[in-house]
Each structure stands twice: as structure tokens, then as C-alpha cells.
Amino acid sequence: MFVRYKFEVIEKGKLYPAYANLLKGKMFIEDEKGHTHKGPNWKEPQFITQKKYGIK
């Protein structure tokens, strides 16, 4: 896991329990290498389908 901002969520031990709850609740799916995948109900956000912000 990598966090670019708010280091205090790691420092205070809040990030991993939240991540573990998402995995346990089947919100996130992990492969054998520990990479997360899109779940069965995932849909592209509107800003991606409209190609805003230079997203290709």
C-alpha cells in the first residue's frame, strides 16, 4: 500500500484496518500477488467516460 498524502493515517494505524475491512467485505478483490482488482459492480466514473482532466 502506498499513500501520497496524510501520512498520519499510517502513523496512527488507521489505513490498514480500513483496507482489511474492504477486503473482508468483498469490496476489494486481491490476486495472488496482492494487487487489487475492480469488483463486479465497478463502473467507470463519469469524469473518465467524458475524458476530463486529460485521462485517456
Phi, psi of 18 (to 5 degrees): -65, -40
pLDDT digits 0-9 by tens, 7-21: 887 778 888 898 888
- Model confidence, pTM: 0.49
Q: What is the pLDDT of residues 39-50, one digit of tens each?
A: 777 888 888 888
Give the C-alpha separation, 25 to 12, whole Å. Answer: 23
Please report which confidence band the pLDDT of residue 53 belongs to, taking 50, 70 and 90 as the band edges.
confident
> Can you tell me whether residue 30 is helix, strand or coil?
strand
